[in-house]
Amino acid sequence: MTRTWHITTVTDAARARIDTARLAAAYGVPAMERTRLTAALSAQLRQCLAKGGTWRLDLEAAAAPPAEGPLRAVVTSCDGAHPEGRPPWHMTVTGTGSADTTDTGPVADDAETLAEGLLGADEDTVLVLEKLGEQEYLVTSHREELDQTNQGVLALHAELDAAGEAQRELFAAERQARTEAESARRRLTFLADASAVLTASLNHDEIVRRLQSLLVPEYAQCVDVWLFDEGDEEQQDTPRPVAAVVAARSGRPQYAADHPGDLPGVDDQLPSALHPSVPLLCVPLGTRREPLGVLTLSPPGARWNADDAVMLIELTRRAGIAIDNAQRFEHNRDIAETLQRALLTDLPTTPGLHLAARYLPATHGLNIGGDWYDAFRQPDGSLITVIGDVTGHGLHAAVMMSQLRTALRAYAVDGGTPGQLLTRLHIFLHHLQPDLYATAVIARFHPDEPTLTWAAAGHPPPVLRTPDGQVRTLDAKPGAMLGIPLHQVIQDHTVTLTPGSTLALYTDGLVERRAQGIDPGIERLAAALGTFRSADLDADLDGSADLLLNPLLSDSERDDDVCLLLCHLHSRAAEMARMPVRLAF
C-alpha cells in the first residue's frame, strides 16, 4: 500500500505530517520511532518549503494495517529541484501491526482539525520527553552509583596498594631475617668446626698452625700469634703493635685503625705505627690463670662485621684454652716420658748372648704406661729376661710396674725358676693391689745348659727362631694373669737352644689391633722374624730389632705401648765358651 501527498504550502506540509503520524500509529510503530519519523519528516518538509516548488511525499507499506511490516517515507521533488547525484530523502520504520486502525482517513482541511492534529502529534513528543527524562534520571542514578563505585574502587586500590607495600616490607624483613639467620648459622657452624679442629690436637705448635689456616682468607687476611713463653729469640725480639701490647696488659680486645671500629667489647686505638694503613684486631689469648699471648688479625676487606668480630673473639678464647691444655699436656708428657725412661734398665752385656730392647710409648696420652722389660743375672750365673705389662696407663701403672720389677729382682736373688718367680709375683700383686693386674713372661738362660726355661702368665707367647730360619710360638700351657683372685701355681716349660737361635719377647701393643685381634699380629711377627739370617742377627741385633719393628708398626698412631726384647744366642757361642775368661754360655 502507498499513500501520496503533494506539498506546496505549509498547510499541505501540516496535513502530510498529521497523516503520516496517524498511519504510523495505525501500523503500530512505537512512539519513539513515530516521534523520530515525524520529527525528521518535519525538518525535511521545512527545507522543501524553503526551497519552494511542489514536493511529493510517498508513504509505502508492505501490507495494509494491522499487518506487521516496514513503513517507508520518501520525499521527492516534483519540479526536479534535487541536486544531481543526490538521492531523495527517505526513512524507514517498523510497525508491529497491533495498533488501532479505525481512524486512518484523510485529514480535513479546516484549521481546527489541523490544529488538533498537530497538538495530538506533539503528544508523542511529550511521551518521548518523559521517557528521556526517565532515562536521564536513570543515567544520573547510574552515574552516581558509578561514582560511588569508582570511589570504592579507588579506595580498594589504595588499600591494595597499602597491603602490597606492607607485604613487600614483610618480604624484605623476612629476607633480611633469613640472611641474618643464615649468617649466624654459618658463624656458629664455623665456630663449632674450628673448635673441634683446635681441640683435636695436643701440640700447641700444631694448634697455632691450624688456627692460622682456619682464619685465612675468609675471616682474616693475615694472622699473627704472639705467645709469651715461646723460647724462640727471633719471636721474642719481633716488634709488636701497641694495640697488641695493650691487649696483653689489659686482657681486653683492641682495634687499631684510623676510624672507629664500633665493635662490641673492643677498645679503639690509634693506627699502628708498624702497619698504619691496615686495621688490626688484637685479641688476648688468655685462660683463667694467666694470659698466654695475643692474636693479631687484619681484616679480609675494609673492616670487620660486628658479628664476625664477636665470633673471632670467642674463637680466640677457645684457642687460648686449647693452647693452654696442649702446653700443660706437653709439660706433663715430658715429665712422664723422662720417668718412664728412667724406670727402664740398661741391658747387661754378655758375650755369646746378645740382647736388644725397644720401648715405644703410645702416641696418645702421657706416654707412660705399664709395659716394661728387664734382664739381670741370678747368683748361680743364670740370666733372667722378663717382659711384662701392667693393666692401665698413667703414673699409677708406671709406679706399679716399678714395684713389680723390684720385687722380681728381690725374689730372683733367692733363686727359683721362672714359674716359681711368676707365682710369687702373683701373690705379691694380689695382696698389694687387689684391683690391679699384670701379665709377664720370664725366660732363663743357663750358661751350662743348652736349654731355655720359660713361663708365662696371661702374656702373649714368646716366639723362637731356630738357626735354620724356622719360627715357632712357645704357647705351652700358660698361667693366668698376675693378681687375679685365683690361687695358681705357674708351670715352667723348657726348650732346647742351638747356637744362632733368637727368642722374641714382646707386649700386646706390638701385635694386637682392634679390628683384627692378636693372633694375626703374632703370625706377622713370626713371619717377619723368619726373614732374618743368623749372620745378620750375629752382626747387628739392634739394627735387626729396628727392621723387625718397622713393618709391624706401619701406622703412626698407637693406642698402646710397644715393648720388644730380642735374645740371640750367637752362632759361635760354643767357640766363645772355650775362651780363657768364661763370660758367656
**DSSP bridge pairs for 4:** 58
Whole-number Å distance between alpha carbons of 139 and 14: 35
- Alpha helices (runs of H) in 414-451, residue ranges in sequence order: 418-432
How is domain 201-335 classified at the architecture level of CATH? Answer: 2-Layer Sandwich (3.30)
Which residue in this structure is represented by grid cell 739370617? 533
What is the 8-class DSSP label of residue 350?
B
Whole-number Å distance between alpha carbons of 156 and 369: 85
Q: Does domain 344-577 have CATH number 3.60.40.10?
A: yes
Cell of 297: 688479625
Quote the distance between the C-alpha of residue 329 and its chain's center.
32
Contact 511, 576 (CB under 8 A): no
| Angle, vertex CA 507, rays to CA 503 and CA 510, nearest 5 | 95
Whole-number Å distance between alpha carbons of 372 and 388: 5
Per-residue model confidence (pLDDT) at position 300: 86
Contact 536, 485 (CB under 8 A): no
Q: Could you read off the pLDDT tens digit of each residue along the chain, which spans 585 residues?
A: 788 999 998 888 888 888 888 888 888 888 888 888 888 888 888 888 888 889 998 888 876 666 677 888 998 888 766 555 578 898 888 877 655 544 555 555 566 666 665 555 566 677 777 777 888 888 888 888 888 888 888 888 999 999 999 999 999 888 988 888 888 898 899 899 999 998 888 888 899 999 988 998 888 888 899 888 765 555 566 788 998 899 988 889 999 998 888 888 899 988 888 888 889 999 999 777 778 899 999 988 878 788 888 999 999 999 989 988 888 888 877 776 676 666 677 888 877 889 999 988 776 555 566 788 999 998 888 899 999 998 876 677 777 888 889 999 999 998 889 999 999 999 999 888 888 899 999 999 987 778 899 999 999 999 999 999 899 999 888 999 999 999 999 999 999 988 999 999 999 888 887 777 788 989 999 999 999 988 889 889 999 999 998 888 765 455 678 899 999 998 875 555 545 444 333
Cell of 290: 694467666
Per-residue model confidence (pLDDT) at position 522: 92
| Angle, vertex CA 65, rays to CA 61 and CA 67, nearest 5 | 85
Whole-number Å distance between alpha carbons of 542 and 562: 16
Q: What is the CA radius of gyration of the chain?
A: 61
> Can you give the residue ranges of every domain in the chain?
2-107, 201-335, 344-577
pTM, whole model, 2 decimals? 0.54
Contact 567, 357 (CB under 8 A): no
